[in-house]
Amino acid sequence: MKIRILISNDDGIYSPGITALAKVASRFGEVRIVAPDVEQSSMGHAITASRPLRYKRIRLDDFEAYRVNGTPADCVALGTHHWQRIDLVLSGINLGLNLGNSCWHSGTLAAAKQAALLGSRGIAISTAVSDKEEPDFSALEPYIAKVLDLLLEEKTMPLVNVNVPQKPRGIRWTRQSVRHYDGKVVASKDPMGRPIYWFTIRPLQGAEEGTDRWAVEHNWVSITPLRLDLTDEKDLARALALHHTPPIATGTSGNSQKNKTSPPAAKERKATRRTNKKTRNRS
């Protein structure tokens, strides 16, 4: 039986990246496209909760395609609702890389993440673009196919972020680079002299070896397995060791328990007071 592949993106359904991805994906299974009607780049994992969603069936090459008045995450939720037993969600091919910290803002990755949240699998695929021309998708096709070959073999990776440089020389497994943040606010003036601000992305160089940014800087296709659980295990372990949760009084636990837990509990109360004070000062 053919696998079912739902395709979405954040560049909008009319982006050339989505048909390029659908073409490669159709070699691996049955394909359906559900994507935003307009660009939703950098919208992250927003969902539309205050108004209804609608879709329209459209013609996109030979693919069954639906454009939705919503975010990438909406599209995956809606697509999954209408097409049962989806095996895989592919998001992209995004016109622009999604490396390091930009994963937190990416709508492309959010579509894949929505699949993972729903218990399916999601793979986000992004590529480098220049100001002058669109990416050469036919040149990227063999690499995308190779990545899908590789990832479909892996049954245990629910969420994967893939970035493809313009002229790849091979494929590397990587980790997310979070050492530097590339977002910056730049102040300017509008024609009337009033202050305006651009939230810009500045190029970063010199990433740590083995990371997604490093791989793409060295012309490797980067594959990063991601996880949904954001818990900082080290901090959690430290917090659990320092602050004993006070036991629930049962009447039999006695004073020894109380004595053991009272100093950290007092510390916690102090900390709470401090936080409250801070909050008051700010408002």
Chain positions contacting Mn ion, by CB under 5 A: 10-11, 41, 94
Query: Given the complex with Mn ion, which of 38 and 240 has the nearer CB atom?
Result: 38
Q: Pick the closer one to Mn ion by CB: 41 or 222.
A: 41
Instruction: State which residue, 173 or 198, has the beta carbon closest to Mn ion.
Output: 198
| CA atoms of 9 and 111, how far apart (whole Å) | 7
Smallest separation (angstroms) from Mn ion to the CB of 94: 4
What residue number has its CB nearest to Mn ion? 41
Q: Residue 233 — φ and ψ, nearest 5°?
A: -60, -40
Residues 197, 108: Cα–Cα separation, whole Å: 25
Instruction: Compute the chain's Rg from CA coordinates.
Output: 23
**Closest approach of Cβ 41 to Mn ion, in Å?**
3
Torsion of CA 156, 158, 163, 167, to 10 degrees: 40
Nearer to Mn ion, 10 or 74 (CB): 10
Measured from the CB atom, is 166 or 261 closer to Mn ion? Answer: 166
Letter string b/e over residues 126-144, b meaning 16 or more CB atoms within 10 A of that residue's CB:
bbbeeeeeebebeebbebb
- Give the residue with the Cβ less far from Mn ion, 8 or 120: 8
Whole-number minimum distance, CB 181 to Mn ion, in Å?
19
Q: Least Å distance between CB 96 and Mn ion? A: 6
Output the smallest distance, CB 10 to Mn ion, in A.
4
**Minimum distance between the CB of residue 11 and Mn ion, rounded to whole angstroms?**
4
- How far is residue 275's CA from residue 254's CA, in Å, rounded to a whole number? 32
Burial string for 52-72 (b: 16+ CB within 10 Å, else e) reads eeebeeeebeebebbbbbbbb
Which residues are within 8 A (CB) of 68 and not within 5 positions of it... i.e. 6 or more apart? 34, 35, 36, 37, 53, 54, 55, 74, 75, 78
Q: How far is the CB of 251 from Mn ion (least distance, A)?
A: 60
Within 54-113, strands assigned E span 55-60, 63-68, 88-95
Three-class secondary structure of residue 64 per DSSP: strand
Taking the least distance from each CB to Mn ion, the nearer of 134 and 263 is 134
Tokens 């091919």 found at = 93
As a whole number of angstroms, the distance between CA 209 and CA 106 comes to: 23
